[in-house]
Amino acid sequence: MNPKLLFWVPAALRMGLILLGVGVLWWLFGALPALVAAFVALLVMVFVQLNYLYQLSDWLDDPKSGKLPDGWGAWTSIFSRLYRLRRDDEKNEAELTEWLARFRQAMHLLPDGVVIMDDVLFLEWCNPAAEEHLGLRHDRDKGMRVTNLVRSPDFMDYLILGRYDQPLTLSFRERKLIVHIIPFENRRQILVTHDITETQRAEMMRRDFIANASHELRTPLTVIVGFLEIAASEDLDAATRAAHLKLMTEQGHRMQHLIEDMLTLSRLESVDHPLRPEHVDIGKLMEQVLREARGLSAGKHEIDMTVEAGDLMGSAEELHSAFGNLASNAVRYTPAGGKIHLHWRDTAKGVQFVVEDTGIGISPEHISRLTERFYRVDKSRSRETQGTGLGLAIVKHVLLRHSGSLTIKSEAGKGSSFIVTLPKSTAAAPQPELLAG
């Protein structure tokens, strides 16, 4: 039914009933009692309306404090509609609070920085990533001009010139950032920062790696091509040809080692190649490493071995590559007559593979850089001994995959200790046949 009718029909009926009552009283008792009764009825009605008005004003002061009365007459519909409005309001508020909480959480988790500024660059809000990227503090800096907070000439120029069609690449506080400005609403703008420090570093490492690898491959290739040109243009005697062939074979092997090491490194780094731990027979592995080290030394060193701990879980092939590289380094960097000791032991820190040598040692300034690709203390010595400069990088990656670590202790001229520590959790359970025995 029409709401206006709903309001007016009951009111008219009530007024009609009062008039009817007054008319009956007039007819039965005369004019005075009827007028007095009409006056009293009017007073009661005014009092009821005033009381509801008072309750309404009380409730409007603090709508959350209590419930509205059911009301009488037209008040019933007014109160129930007001009550419904308040309930809808509360629901909307709760939904809004929830959305705001979700938005805040998303903004907190966002790796990109977001700054909201007004049209004259005053900071209104920023997320934690923006605080980190630009050194801002939302609670401290709110209401301040962003160009006064981020002190970089490039950043100021970019913001002041307002040419936002191109992003800005900004070097700020040892970070490389890509900065975008997006105008939004009428008088606001969003500043977005994207940190590309890591990507740039990875890109630089990749470029360095390619440059180094090309250089390393070019050197033996130049030697081979040189000899081939001589062989093609000159009539060489048998002895010279044999000497040239020997040198070319050596250079060929060098290239082969280098490519094998590069392939090993790329396999170790590949995410498509996760570690599948298997039981590693440490006795067998250590024997193999010892045999190879003795083979490389060709009797020039005194090499011995102690095995004091049990087997472990991991990749036998990768661990062989890591342990083998460390043992081969010890042989290559220890002058003839030196001593080398291989040790597999159990310690409080974990199980350890230790290679100790009495070789040329390493000065302290080089130690932290030894696991970088192609880093060598003495390039010519490394090449003389068939080094590729990738051995310790391979060791580092194998250990990363096994949650292990490498400690290097060395003194120039006195010798070195390379200590591989693997967590005890990699220790293998004893083999069933060993238990039975």
Interacting residue with ligand ADP among 179, 248, 265, 330 (CB under 6 A): 330
Over the range 353-365, which residues count as b (16 or more CB within 10 Å of their CB) and which as e? bbbbbbbbbbeee
Q: Smaller CB distance to ligand ADP: residue 312 or 360?
A: 360
Q: How far is the CB of 320 from ligand ADP (least distance, A)?
A: 15
Mode of pairing for the β-strands spanning 113-118 and 175-184: unpaired
Sign of CA dihedral 353, 358, 364, 368: negative
How many residues bind ligand ADP, per CB under 6 A? 23
Q: Which stretch binds ligand ADP (CB under 6 A): 112-120, 197-205, 344-352, 385-393?
A: 385-393
Q: Examine residue 321 and tell whether it contacts ligand ADP (CB under 6 A).
A: no
Please provide the DSSP assignment of 89-119 as one string.
Answer: HHHHHHHHHHHHHHHHHHHHH-SSEEEEEET
Q: Examine residue 360 and tell whether it contacts ligand ADP (CB under 6 A).
A: yes
Interacting residue with ligand ADP among 126, 392, 420, 422 (CB under 6 A): 392
Interacting residue with ligand ADP among 251, 391, 399, 420 (CB under 6 A): 391
DSSP bridge pairs for 193: 113, 179
Q: Smaller CB distance to ligand ADP: residue 129 or 327?
A: 327
Q: What CA–CA distance (Å, rounded) separates 307 from 287?
A: 10
Q: Smaller CB distance to ligand ADP: residue 248 or 419?
A: 419
Q: Which stretch binds ligand ADP (CB under 6 A): 7-15, 42-50, 158-166, 359-367?
A: 359-367
Q: Smaller CB distance to ligand ADP: residue 71 or 415?
A: 415
DSSP at 122:
B
Interacting residue with ligand ADP among 264, 321, 329, 352 (CB under 6 A): 329
- Helices 391-401/238-269 angle, 10° precision: 20
Q: What CA–CA distance (Å, rounded) separates 33 from 25?
A: 7
Q: Examine residue 280 and tell whether it contacts ligand ADP (CB under 6 A).
A: no
Q: What CA–CA distance (Å, rounded) separates 122 from 16?
A: 67
Closest CA to 268 of 223, 321, 309: 321
Q: How far is the CB of 260 from ligand ADP (least distance, A)?
A: 12
Q: How far is the CB of 355 from ligand ADP (least distance, A)?
A: 7
Q: Examine residue 289 and tell whether it contacts ligand ADP (CB under 6 A).
A: no
- Helix ranges restricted to H, 30-152: 31-61, 74-109, 128-134, 138-141, 146-149
Interacting residue with ligand ADP among 127, 264, 382, 421 (CB under 6 A): 382
Q: Which stretch binds ligand ADP (CB under 6 A): 30-38, 95-103, 296-304, 353-361?
A: 353-361
Interacting residue with ligand ADP among 333, 338, 352, 401 (CB under 6 A): 333
Contact, 293 vs 342, CB < 8 A? yes
Closest CA to 330 of 352, 308, 301, 310: 301
Q: Examine residue 389 and tell whether it contacts ligand ADP (CB under 6 A).
A: yes
The most distant pair of C-alpha atoms in the chain lies apart, rounded to whole Å, by: 157
Looking up tokens 């940190």 gives 195
Q: Examine residue 354 and tell whether it contacts ligand ADP (CB under 6 A).
A: no
349 Cβ contact list (under 8 Å, min separation 6): 421
Q: Examine residue 297 and tell whether it contacts ligand ADP (CB under 6 A).
A: no
Interacting residue with ligand ADP among 377, 399, 406, 419 (CB under 6 A): 377
Q: How far is the CB of 395 from ligand ADP (least distance, A)?
A: 8
- Helices 3-29/31-61 angle, 10° precision: 150
Q: Which stretch binds ligand ADP (CB under 6 A): 14-22, 149-157, 159-167, 382-390?
A: 382-390
User: In this chain, which residue has its C-beta nearest to ligand ADP?
Assistant: 391
Q: Examine residue 324 and tell whether it contacts ligand ADP (CB under 6 A).
A: no
- Residue length of the chain: 437
Interface residues with ligand ADP (CB under 6 A) are 325, 329-330, 333, 357, 359-362, 370, 375-378, 382, 387-393, 416
